[in-house]
C-alpha cells in the first residue's frame, strides 16, 4: 500500500512538473505585438546595413507558433510598410530565430533576427536596383534660378554713396558664388548607396580663436541619417529625425539646440519624403549631376522661415561681391520678406551641382 501511495506521489510530481513547464514556456504567440526602438515593454533592437536605426517599429504576429508575419513600419526608404508573411520560426531554448527575403523589381530586402519575451532583434539589408544617382558625386557649385518674380524686393543694402535694392533676381545672381565658396569648405562629396543611404564626406574641423582656419578633417556621415529612393524620375529624400537628433546629442553632448519647433513642423513633410528634382548629363565622360528644389516644395517650407529667423542672431550678414565691391548683406530682412516672395513665385530652383568622382 505504501509503495502504491509513493508511486502516486512520484507520478503526481512528474505530471505537475511537466504541466508547469508547459504552462510557463513562452511561445511566439505570446510575443505578438508592436515592437519599437522607444518602447520599454516591447523593445526593438534594429540595425539597417549593420548600423543602428532608431525611431522605427515592427509589428510581430504569429498565429500558430511556427511562422510569423512581420510588418516593418517605415524601415525601407519609400515604403510606409514592408510585409514579410509566413516567416518560419526556429526554436532554441526560449529564443526564436528567423530569416526572410522580400523582393520586387525595384529592390531586395532581407532580414534576420530573433525574438524573446519583451525584445525583438533584427538586422535589415536592402539592395535597390541600379539608378542614375547610385554613385559618388563630388561637390561642384551652388546654383539658383529665381525668374518669376525676379524683381521682388527683399531688402536694401547701403553701399555708402547709394542704396542698392536687393531683389529676388539679384539674390539669385549673387548668392551662388558666395555659397559655393563657403560650402566647399564643409562638403566634399555625396554618395547615393545601393542600400538607399545617402552619405557625405564633410569637414568636422572646428574653428577656434586660437586656430581660426584649422586644417580640414574629412569624415563620412553616419548611416541611416538620410535615405532616398527614385520614383518616376524624382528622388525622394527621407531624413530620420530620431537618428539626426541622436547624432547631434553625440556630437554636442550637454548642449541645447532649441530646434524642437522646427523639427515638429517639418515632421509630416519628412514622413512622405522630400521630393528632390535632378538632372543628369554625361558632360566630360564622368557625368554631371544637378539636384534641386523647385518652387512647389519651397512654398511648403515658407511657413517655417519665421522659425528659422528666430534662431539667427539679428546682426547676421553675408559678404557678397557686387560690381567689384565687397558688400555686407543682412540676413534678417531677407528671411522676413521671403514668405511673401515665395508666395508670388511661379518659377524658381535652388540646388547643388556635382560632377562624377574620380
Helix (H) or strand (E) holding 146: strand 136-148
What pLDDT score does 328 carry? 81
Sign of the Cα torsion 127, 186, 182, 153 reads positive
Model pTM score: 0.81
Position of cell 567689384? 324
Residue 311 DSSP code: H
228/277 Cα distance (integer angstroms): 12
Tally of CB atoms within 10 A around 111? 24
* DSSP 3-state of 271: helix
CA distances from 192 to 105, 131, 288 (A): 19, 10, 14
What pLDDT score does 310 carry? 62
85/21 Cα distance (integer angstroms): 30
Tally of CB atoms within 10 A around 62? 21
Position of cell 508592436? 34
Please give the order of strands across the beta sheet that includes 234-239.
218-220, 198-203, 187-192, 136-148, 347-356, 288-294, 274-281, 234-239, 226-231
Task: Give the burial class of 83: count Cβ atoms within 10 A of its Cβ; 0-12 exposed, 13-18 middle, 19 or more buried.
Answer: exposed
Q: What is the dihedral of CA 267, 268, 271, 277, to 10 degrees?
A: -100
What pLDDT score does 311 carry? 58
Residue 162 DSSP code: S
Task: Give the burial class of 320: count Cβ atoms within 10 A of its Cβ; 0-12 exposed, 13-18 middle, 19 or more buried.
Answer: buried
Sign of the Cα torsion 49, 53, 58, 62 reads positive
121/131 Cα distance (integer angstroms): 31
354/61 Cα distance (integer angstroms): 46
Residue 265: all three cell numbers together? 513642423
Selection from 56, 77, 12, 80 nearest residue 246 by Cα: 56
Beta carbons of 291 and 352 less than 8 angstroms apart: yes
Beta carbons of 347 and 295 less than 8 angstroms apart: yes
Selection from 148, 150, 166, 143 nearest residue 295 by Cα: 148
What pLDDT score does 266 carry? 55
Give the list of residues 6+ apart from residue 300 with CB closer than 8 angstroms, or none. 269
What pLDDT score does 320 carry? 72
pLDDT in tens, the chain (358 residues): 445 444 444 444 444 434 434 444 678 888 999 999 999 999 999 999 999 999 999 999 999 989 999 999 999 999 999 999 999 999 887 899 999 999 999 999 999 999 999 999 999 999 999 999 999 999 999 999 998 999 999 999 887 778 889 999 988 988 888 888 888 988 999 999 999 999 999 998 887 888 888 898 999 999 999 999 999 999 999 988 888 777 766 665 543 444 444 454 455 556 678 889 999 887 666 789 999 999 888 887 776 676 666 656 667 777 777 667 777 888 888 888 888 999 899 999 999 999 988 6
Tally of CB atoms within 10 A around 313? 8
Question: Kindly report the CA angle at 179 between 178 and 181, in degrees rounded to 5?
Answer: 70
What pLDDT score does 254 carry? 41
Q: What is the dihedral of CA 231, 235, 238, 244, to 10 degrees?
A: 160
Residue 221 DSSP code: P
What pLDDT score does 194 carry? 97
Amino acid at each position: 500500500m505504501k509503495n502504491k501511495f509513493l508511486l502516486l506521489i512520484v507520478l503526481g510530481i512528474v505530471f505537475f512538473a511537466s504541466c508547469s513547464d508547459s504552462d510557463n514556456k513562452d511561445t511566439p504567440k505570446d510575443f505578438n505585438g508592436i515592437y519599437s526602438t522607444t518602447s520599454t515593454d516591447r523593445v526593438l533592437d534594429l540595425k539597417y546595413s549593420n548600423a543602428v536605426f532608431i525611431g522605427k517599429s515592427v509589428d510581430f504576429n504569429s498565429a500558430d507558433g511556427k511562422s510569423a508575419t512581420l510588418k516593418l513600419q517605415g524601415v525601407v526608404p519609400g515604403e510606409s510598410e514592408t510585409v514579410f508573411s509566413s516567416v518560419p520560426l526556429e526554436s532554441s531554448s526560449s529564443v526564436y530565430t528567423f530569416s526572410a527575403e522580400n523582393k520586387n523589381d525595384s529592390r531586395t530586402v532581407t532580414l534576420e533576427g530573433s525574438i524573446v519575451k519583451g525584445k525583438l532583434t533584427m538586422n535589415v539589408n536592402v539592395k535597390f536596383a541600379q539608378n542614375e544617382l547610385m554613385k559618388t558625386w563630388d561637390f561642384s557649385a551652388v546654383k539658383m534660378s529665381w525668374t518669376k518674380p525676379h524683381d521682388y524686393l527683399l531688402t536694401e543694402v547701403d553701399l555708402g554713396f547709394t542704396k542698392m535694392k536687393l531683389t529676388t533676381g539679384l539674390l539669385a545672381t549673387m548668392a551662388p558664388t558666395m555659397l559655393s565658396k563657403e560650402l566647399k569648405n564643409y562638403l566634399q562629396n555625396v554618395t547615393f548607396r545601393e542600400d538607399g543611404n545617402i552619405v557625405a564626406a564633410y569637414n568636422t574641423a572646428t574653428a577656434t580663436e586660437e586656430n581660426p582656419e584649422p586644417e580640414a578633417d574629412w569624415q563620412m556621415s553616419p548611416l541611416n541619417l538620410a535615405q532616398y529612393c527614385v520614383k518616376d524620375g524624382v528622388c525622394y529624400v527621407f531624413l530620420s529625425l530620431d537618428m539626426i537628433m541622436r547624432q547631434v546629442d553625440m556630437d554636442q553632448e550637454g548642449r541645447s539646440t532649441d530646434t524642437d519647433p522646427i523639427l515638429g513642423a517639418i515632421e509630416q513633410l519628412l514622413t512622405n519624403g522630400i521630393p528632390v528634382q535632378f538632372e543628369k548629363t554625361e558632360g566630360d565622360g564622368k557625368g554631371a549631376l544637378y539636384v534641386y528644389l523647385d518652387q512647389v516644395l519651397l512654398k511648403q517650407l515658407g511657413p517655417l522661415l519665421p522659425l528659422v529667423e528666430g534662431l539667427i542672431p539679428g546682426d547676421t550678414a553675408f559678404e557678397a561681391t557686387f560690381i567689384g565691391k565687397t558688400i555686407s548683406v543682412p540676413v534678417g530682412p531677407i528671411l522676413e520678406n521671403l514668405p511673401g516672395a515665395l508666395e508670388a513665385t511661379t518659377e524658381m530652383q535652388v540646388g547643388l551641382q556635382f560632377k562624377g568622382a574620380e
